[in-house]
């Protein structure tokens, strides 16, 4: 059975898996909101941490995966993984054809539409499932969280407690 046939078999039996890719550096309450909501929609949600070697992340891939595991431990259908290749190649490796993406604002939509169209061009079996952010998180990004934490500002309402603790440890260790 080839990959395409496996995806069709999953669909015929009502099994739906999706991948929620991102850098998650760090995971925010906005990310967690999308994860919780997507976990209700799909039978299996793979949260895939992008290992982008061209960026200089605050947390290593393993640290980001561990933080994600901690904050999603109450969701039995969520799997934490990572990838460093094209998302389309990762999706094929996992035999999944649905991508979950969160949208905060119009600017997100423009970028995400471009990415969804590109992914669809690379593999016409790939679909993107957009979820709008809950209004209370529509402004929230990992970059904003890191900037606030770097200057020892309050991030309690922006990230889970485990992430806040990890941020404080990172920034107290930096000169």
152 is in an annotated binding site: no
| Domain spans, the chain | 15-138
The C-alpha atoms of residue 65 and residue 58 are separated, in whole angstroms, by: 13
What pLDDT is stored for residue 174 in this prediction? 60
DSSP 32-96: HHHHHHHHHHSSEEEEEEE--TTS--SS-HHHHHHHHHHHTTT-TTEEEEEE-S-HHHHHHHHT-
36 is in an annotated binding site: no
Catalytic residues: 31, 55, 104, 142
Query: With a threshold of 0.75, does the pTM exceed it?
Result: yes
31 is in an annotated binding site: yes
The C-alpha atoms of residue 53 and residue 82 are separated, in whole angstroms, by: 13
Do the Cβ atoms of 98 and 19 come closer than 8 Å? yes
CATH architecture of 15-138: 3-Layer(aba) Sandwich (3.40)
Tens-level pLDDT at each residue, the chain (175 residues): 454 544 444 454 467 999 999 999 999 999 999 999 999 999 999 999 998 777 789 999 999 999 999 999 999 999 999 999 899 999 999 999 999 999 988 778 888 999 999 999 999 999 999 999 999 999 999 999 999 999 999 999 999 999 999 999 999 876 5
What pLDDT is stored for residue 108 in this prediction? 84
117 is in an annotated binding site: no
């Amino acid at each position: 059975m080839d990959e395409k046939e496996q995806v069709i078999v999953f669909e015929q039996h009502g099994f739906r898996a999706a991948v929620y890719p991102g850098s998650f550096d760090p995971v925010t309450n906005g990310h967690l909101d999308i994860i919780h909501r997507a976990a209700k929609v799909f039978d299996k949600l793979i949260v895939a941490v992008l290992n982008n070697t061209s960026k200089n992340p605050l947390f290593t891939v393993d640290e980001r995966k561990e933080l994600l595991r901690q904050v999603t431990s109450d969701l039995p259908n969520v799997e934490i993984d990572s990838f460093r290749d094209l998302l389309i190649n990762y999706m094929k490796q996992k035999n999944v054809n649905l991508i979950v993406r969160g949208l905060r604002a119009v600017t997100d939509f423009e970028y995400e539409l471009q990415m969804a169209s590109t992914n669809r061009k690379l593999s016409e079996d790939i679909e993107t499932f957009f979820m709008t952010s809950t209004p209370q998180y529509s402004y929230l990004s990992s970059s904003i969280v890191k900037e606030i934490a770097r200057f020892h500002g309050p991030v309690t309402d922006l990230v889970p407690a485990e992430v806040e603790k990890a941020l404080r440890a990172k920034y107290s260790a930096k000169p």
